Structure 1
Amino acid sequence: MTAFWTEPDFDDHEMVHVVRDRKSGLMAIIAVHSTHLGPGAGGTRFWHYPDPKDGLRDALRLSRGMSYKNAMAGLPMGGGKAVILADESRTKTPELLSAFGDAVEGLNGRYVTAEDVGISEADMVAVSQRTSHVSGLPVSGGNAAGGDPGPFTSYGIYLGIKAAVQHKLRTDSMAGVHVAVQGTGSVGGGVARLLAEDGARLTLADIHADGVAALADELGAAIVAPDDILTTHCDVLSPNALGAILDDESIAALNTQIVAGGANNQLARTHHGQVLFDRGILYAPDYVINAGGIISVATEYLARRDGNVATIDDVNGLIEQIPDRLATIWQTSEAGGASPDVVADTMAQELIGRG
């Protein structure tokens, strides 16, 4: 692996920690971008990267995104991310999770972890046996906040899509609005269900054919092949899978008025926000619209740290501020001629003391 500070996605990160535990087989990267507002918070991704440099790239980009996301969500948390470099068989053992928990504990609270791609609530419970700097833990019921942050992420994206439709299409109703949803797992599936309740017309795509077929039957939605979803004629394209999907070629082929979804780092490179803007496509900066999960995780963690219990109402109240933040970004963008991603980045950089 090359020196991290020579990577194009290195952005004056405070810490890039490489973890190797031979006994358990753990190889991980923990990146903390900023602790200006508080401990670096962000989930752990468990993924097989044929080239470890791609894992480093993910850790750097995602941790920077978490700095911006947490700042724009008004949370007293910095930005961090962990990537566990899974083997080709994606072997995950109790010993590996324990070793990862020890690594988090060894950072003395500079990084707080939670679920991300490939990591479950049960995995976080295992990690929590070795460190208290973990969130997204199961709750026993009632109105207490906690557990899988996915539904909270879905709720924020749903509210953000409604805000985008109101801003761009000038309607408060989702009835008949055509939304193409890329990725129908926990987050994308939740978004689709909420939109269906509002009467939206849905087209779905996912690499898992059985799952997307079942969801389409449930919601009365259409299905297209994963390769076709980005070119679907629709009002809103909602990317909810992996990132870096919006590049010169894909943006040129888009047939939508709005891009608003939960995937992290949707723009392949920074200039692609301007490419969208020049095409007249309204973009909801991903780390603003998809902040519901980290809002849940951070609210749970901070309350538990202080000996309190956060409620679902507390979390939802914070998530429901997402549409106003997006509206401010879009209004500033249109007034000044800068693309929404640049406006959001500028706001976030000022909040973390790098403006």
Structure 2
Amino acid sequence: MHVVRGARSDIPIVVAVHSTARGPAIGGCRIKPYRSVGDGVADALRLSRAMTLKCGLAELPHGGGKTVAVLGDAPLTPPVRENLVLDIAETIRTLGGRYRTGPDIGTTPQDMAVIHRLTPGWAFCRPETLGGSGNSSAATARGVRAALDAAVAHVRGTRAVTGLRIGVIGYGSVGRLLGRSLAADGAEVVVTDRDDRLRAQVETDGLTWSTSDLLRQDLDVLVPAATGGLLSPESVAGCTIPLIVGPANNQLTGDHVATLLHERGTTWIPDTVASAGSIIHAVCREELACDEPETGARIDAIGAKVDRILAHARTHGTTPLQAAHALATHHQPATA
């Protein structure tokens, strides 16, 4: 764990390195407000731990890490933000290659280009024009769709989503791609987002806008596609949705919530599996010299991974989360 205050921006920067057993730690760079530096540290620790699990399940030569820049009440002006990215690059450079970053909430492929230039290449997802793998949204959505189709087959006996009522929480770039894809395949898609300005786009896309708590709605599938922490003991208490699968990171407030969902008859697909398309795409294209068809096939294989997780959970009487940990451990060397 590395916590520093940026020399230029005066903003606290947290870098958590959870494991380097498989190779250098990787994980996105998040710039967002927190109530305290301690909250930012806790978020970085949770996310870095999840990244280790994600890399293990995806069988990538990396462990998990995370960068969090802890914003306060002061506005993040363009000059301060520019200095913050420079501070983040400097912090990553001091780790000597143990950690490599990528875009996350509050950062962009352009930011990764700056970090890549100022470190010896320790940033993924630069713009394609600069030699990177570009925006990861399409890869993330492709992986989530593979996970969703496999999970639907487990719950309903068929991969078809035609006629299903599917709720999407969050209509950012990934949520939008998923909503459109599911509607194109015949699902009735209901969307909610904190940003009411997105309603026009949702309705233009032929989807239904809702201001209701989708966890309490009569849905066949729920797709969390916003920030984490959605699923808590309180929020799942009245949930009757058969299947939850989506790209949002750290959807559970604690691992015990997976047990609560399982006891209520809800199949929850760990986000560490469902959202792995982005890191598979970045690592395959930028490190492993895979072409797009091979990379796409590895992303689509997330569906087969979900099949294995659910089969393991059924055979051993565990939750999908416990099954995911068991399978990741099978591929994961001892943590360094």
- What is the TM-score with the length of structure 1 in the denominator? 0.89
- What does residue 217 of structure 1 align with? 204
* Alpha-carbon distance in structure 2 between the residues aligned to 1:257 and 1:153: 23
Q: Confirm whether residue 38 of structure 1 aligns to residue 23 of structure 2.
A: yes
- What does residue 83 of structure 2 align with? 95
Deviates more, 1:289-298 or 1:58-67: 289-298
Within 5 A, what are the aligned runs for 1:43-58? 43-58=28-43
Deviates more, 1:18-27 or 1:338-347: 18-27
Deviation at 1:354?
4.5
Aligned in 2, Cα 1:212/1:164: closer, same or farther, shift over 3 Å?
farther
- What does residue 160 of structure 2 align with? 173
Identity across the alignment (%): 33
After superposition, the CA RMSD in angstroms is 1.7
* Alpha-carbon distance in structure 1 between the residues aligned to 2:303 and 2:132: 21
- What does residue 339 of structure 1 align with? 319
Q: 1:319 aligns with which of 294, 299, 314?
A: 299
* Alpha-carbon distance in structure 1 between the residues aligned to 2:199 and 2:282: 27
Aligned in 2, Cα 1:19/1:266: closer, same or farther, shift over 3 Å?
same
Deviates more, 1:70-79 or 1:294-303: 294-303
Q: 1:276 aligns with which of 233, 258, 261?
A: 261
The question of whether the paired residues in 1 share the 8 Å contact of 2:18 and 2:63 is answered with yes
The residue identity in structure 2 corresponding to 1:168 is V
- What does residue 241 of structure 1 align with? 226
Deviation at 1:310?
4.2
Deviation at 1:145?
6.8
Report the number of matched residues: 331
The question of whether the paired residues in 1 share the 8 Å contact of 2:169 and 2:193 is answered with yes
* Alpha-carbon distance in structure 1 between the residues aligned to 2:26 and 2:106: 18
- What does residue 127 of structure 2 align with? 138
* Alpha-carbon distance in structure 1 between the residues aligned to 2:132 and 2:126: 9
Deviation at 1:248?
1.6
The residue identity in structure 1 corresponding to 2:184 is E
Q: 2:93 aligns with which of 69, 83, 105?
A: 105
The question of whether the paired residues in 2 share the 8 Å contact of 1:204 and 1:216 is answered with no
* Alpha-carbon distance in structure 2 between the residues aligned to 1:194 and 1:140: 27
Aligned in 2, Cα 1:122/1:196: closer, same or farther, shift over 3 Å?
same
Deviates more, 1:232-241 or 1:24-33: 24-33
Within 5 A, what are the aligned runs for 1:128-167? 128-131=116-119, 132-140=121-129, 146-167=133-154
- What does residue 110 of structure 2 align with? 122
The question of whether the paired residues in 2 share the 8 Å contact of 1:98 and 1:129 is answered with no
The question of whether the paired residues in 2 share the 8 Å contact of 1:178 and 1:236 is answered with yes
* Alpha-carbon distance in structure 2 between the residues aligned to 1:212 and 1:313: 35
| CA deviations over 1:266-313 (Å, ceiling 9, x no partner) | 11111111111111111111100110011122223314xxxxx54322
Deviation at 1:247?
1.5
Deviation at 1:316?
1.0
* Alpha-carbon distance in structure 1 between the residues aligned to 2:199 and 2:258: 29
Instruction: Extract unaligned runs of 5+ from structure 1.
Output: 1-15, 304-308
* Alpha-carbon distance in structure 2 between the residues aligned to 1:41 and 1:203: 34
Runs of 4+ in 1 over 6 A off after TM superposition: none
- What does residue 177 of structure 2 align with? 190
* Alpha-carbon distance in structure 1 between the residues aligned to 2:262 and 2:108: 36
SS at match of 2:234: helix
* Alpha-carbon distance in structure 1 between the residues aligned to 2:72 and 2:117: 24
Q: Confirm whether residue 25 of structure 1 aligns to residue 5 of structure 2.
A: no
* Alpha-carbon distance in structure 2 between the residues aligned to 1:286 and 1:346: 15
